[in-house]
Structure 1
Amino acid sequence: MKVIVIGCTHAGTAAITQMVQHHPEAQITVYERNDNISFLSCGIALHVSGVVKQAEKLFYASPAQLAELGVDTRMKHDVLNVDTAAKTVRVRNLDTGEEFTDAYDKLVMTTGSWPIIPQLPGIGMENIQLCKNYAHSQTIIAKAKDAKRVTVVGAGYIGIELVEAFEQLGKDVTLIDNMDRTMFKYLDPEFTAVAESALEERGIRLALGRTVTGFEGQDGRVRKVLTTNGEFEADLVILCIGFRPNTELLQGQVDMLPNGAIIVDEYMRTSNPDVFAAGDSCAIHYNPTGTHAYIPLATNAVRMGTLVARNLVTPTVRYMGTQGTSGIKIYDYNIASTGMTEAAAIAADMKVKAVTLNENYRPEFMPTFENVLLKVVYLEQTGRIIGAQVLSKADLTQAINTLSVCIQNGMTMDELGYVDFFFQPHYNKPWNLLNQAGLQAM
């Protein structure tokens, strides 16, 4: 069996290493247009701030390691065309320019995503940077050394982490977003308000509720960011607007969402049974709504890549879907979320209720204790849990992993109220916070 893998980031690396284990007879060839694999882009901000001194440590696999497993590892090879009817791919060697055709029995598409780049006046000027891969991280580090005023466009997790990192480096930092608050996809207003206060207390300028309209510069270098409400001086601009799936190779050949995300079934098969897909190039089953959604996360990618290997020949292990569970640390605050926010559910015309707890996470007779903000969102009619968020200076983020399992298993608030959680004064109160949320909903 000849298997071709296109793209080798998180999903691709997971698929390849597991295919070697589960299908030792397979002849596996991987084509990757870059010269490296498995870079953890979520660590770029840690590298910028100096927490991670060497970006090379953000790789967890290498082309050499794949080659040692017997995989035909072709770095700096760009796939130009895929013909699913003929089961062939057209490839260009980026070093030599040579083009050739290769054939497959099974094709694995793990081409990932790429940052959205708005077509705005001045977008091509120097010092306007993307934030996705290893090369970007190195460029950002180099450019930041001489930059005094840094502007980040996009207030999602990556943008938030970057402005914190730049502030810690002593830069004059501005964060721009077209929404009226940060991290709106992940958190409701009572949570983002706390995070925004923490950012502003450290001098980060929040320019929210405005859209970037262009850039101005001098001698080809950016000097100013123009928006629908004001302009901001900047020596360095980082674009963190979002991502789009890299799926042009399969356009018109498999089913996709309108944004180009490949639709896969619970065994990672596309609408073509010999073409599998995983990672940021895919739409996934989103348990809170029961529909397909585009949620590019490394955690989803490695799970999906592993499942490709398990299901390559015979449907064996079913994908249980995702809640889009994620977390972030902003200065002293530990924040995590899973499923839908209340705002997202209302926007989707879902009839929901929410329970919000704001109290100390362990007994007040303990020497120290911290406040915790916990919110659980559930369907009004059935009580089924569809989302949750937590914020505290104490690390209580694992509670969100627990609630992720609750959503995945279709649990209700009534059931949550009586789940068996331990009590120990070092860690919690006799009624666990999650129990309390369930009980308050009754």
Structure 2
Amino acid sequence: MKVAVIGCTHAGTTAIKNIVNLYPDAEIDVLERNDNVSFLSCGIALSVGGVVENPEDLFYASVPQFERLGVRMHMNHDVISCDVTAKQLQAKDLKTDTIKNYSYDKLIIASGSWPITPPIPGADLENVLLCKNYDHAKEIINRSASVRNVVVVGAGYIGVELVEAFEENGKNVTLIDSEERILNRYLDDIFTEPVEASFEQRGVQLALGQTVSQFEGEETVEKVITDKGEYAADLVVMCIGFRPNTGLFNNQLDMLGNGAIVVDAYMQTSVKDVFAAGDCCAIYNNATKQSAYIPLATNAVRMGTLVAHNLVRPVMAHPGTQGTSGLKLYHHNIASTGLTESAASLSGVSVDSVVYKDNYRPDFMPENAEIQLKLVYETETHRIVGAQVISDADFTQAINTISVGIANNMTVEQLALTDFFFQPHYNKPVNFLNEVALKAMAKKAGKTQKQAVLS
């Protein structure tokens, strides 16, 4: 069996490792446009901030490792055409410009995503950088060493983590985003407000609700112009978001409107023997019961694993995702899963919500911390569809618990009565997960009683 793999970051790396174990006789050709594999781009901010001293430590697999397993690694090779019907592709060696044809029995598309780059005048100036791969990481680290004013464009996870890293390195930092608040895709406002306050207390300038219109400078960027102001900049990092890197397969495979490849539960595309995994494709969202584009490393690893297992025949279905994620900024420990209220509205899911806010230990304990937990649930069925948590203590694992609940269509009533242990060092007699669900039940009961009185 000849297997061709396009791309070798999270999904590609995981697929290859599993294929080698499951099908020892498979002939595997890996085509990767970079000279490295398995780079953890989510660790770039940790490297910028000095938490990780060497960017090289952000790899978890290597080309020699795969070659020792018999995998044919074609690095610095850009796939320039692919005929999924004829099972043929062409790749260009970026070092020699040589073009070579490859045939395959099975194709795995793990081409990932690429940063969104709007056509902003001045974007070609020196020190206007992207943040995605190993080369970007090295550029950001090297160029930020000698600059004073840093502008980060985009207030998603990568953007806010970079802001924290730059600020802690003593830079004057400005964060620009067209939305009115940070992290709006992941958290509701009561969770983003304390983080914004922490940024402002540390001197970070938040330029929210603003759109970048131009970069100015002679050869190197000096200023960022928005529709509401202008900001000094010796370095700009663009973190607007990502789009699937799938142009090669336009008009060949079924895709979402943004170019994300549509796959079934076994990771097969609309064409037989063509599979896709990772940031290049859509995934089933258990909260909305629809396919969606949720580019996360965790999703990519699971999808890469499934591609390998289903390569010969469908044996293991994807369980769906909740888009669960976590974040640490300064003293804030944050995590979320499923839908926020605003995301639910955009998805057409009618929801209600409750917020639980209290100390997590009994009051007699000498040390304590406040936990703020929000539960989002479907109005009619009471099915849990989302949750968020923030605290100075680490309760992020609670969101993993609720993620499992969403995957299994758990209701607030079921969560309210779930068996969680009690020990004063860790929680109260009624666990905070039970408490937030009980609060949802009480809210529903109150509404029902009010409706009965009014009727």
Correspondence for 2:169: 169
Matched letter for residue 363 of structure 1? P
> 1:346: how far off?
2.3
> 1:80: how far off?
0.7
Q: Aligned partners of 1:245 and 1:351: how far apart in 2?
A: 29
Q: Normalized against structure 2, the TM-score is what?
A: 0.96
Correspondence for 1:312: 311
> 1:18: how far off?
0.2
Alignment of 1:416-435 (within 5 A): 416-435=415-434
CA contact (8 A) 2:288 2:347 kept: no
Identity of aligned residues (%): 59
Give yes or no for the alignment of 1:111 onto 2:115.
no
Q: Normalized against structure 1, the TM-score is what?
A: 0.99
Q: Aligned partners of 2:57 and 2:347: how far apart in 1?
A: 41
> 1:441: how far off?
1.3
> 1:364: how far off?
1.6
Matched letter for residue 256 of structure 1? M
Correspondence for 2:34: 34
CA contact (8 A) 2:28 2:72 kept: yes
> 1:350: how far off?
2.5
Deviations 1:122-150 (A, max 9, x none): 11100000000110011011110111000
> 1:440: how far off?
1.1
Correspondence for 2:453: none
> 1:10: how far off?
0.4
Q: Aligned partners of 2:220 and 2:263: how far apart in 1?
A: 43
Matched letter for residue 65 of structure 1? Q
Structure 1 SS opposite 2:206: strand
Q: Aligned partners of 1:298 and 1:288: how far apart in 2?
A: 19
Correspondence for 2:255: 256
Structure 2 SS opposite 1:280: coil
Deviations 1:167-209 (A, max 9, x none): 0010000000000000000000000001111111111110001
Give yes or no for the alignment of 1:6 onto 2:11.
no
Q: Aligned partners of 1:362 and 1:201: how far apart in 2?
A: 28
> 1:292: how far off?
0.7
Correspondence for 1:236: 235
> 1:96: how far off?
1.6
Matched letter for residue 250 of structure 2? Q
CA contact (8 A) 2:177 2:207 kept: yes
Alignment of 1:258-297 (within 5 A): 258-297=257-296
Q: Aligned partners of 2:366 and 2:197: how far apart in 1?
A: 27
Correspondence for 1:81: 81
Deviations 1:239-285 (A, max 9, x none): 00000101011111110001100000000000012100000000000
CA contact (8 A) 2:122 2:216 kept: yes
Correspondence for 1:375: 374
Q: How many residues align?
A: 441
Alignment of 1:181-196 (within 5 A): 181-196=181-196
Ranges in structure 1 where 5+ consecutive residues have no aligned partner: none
Correspondence for 2:69: 69
Correspondence for 1:147: 147
Correspondence for 2:135: 135
Correspondence for 2:344: 345
Instruction: Indicate the larger mover: 350-359 or 263-272.
Output: 350-359
Correspondence for 1:298: 297
Correspondence for 1:208: 208
Q: Aligned partners of 1:40 and 1:222: how far apart in 2?
A: 28
Structure 2 SS opposite 1:279: coil
Give yes or no for the alignment of 1:411 onto 2:410.
yes
Q: Aligned partners of 2:182 and 2:135: how far apart in 1?
A: 27
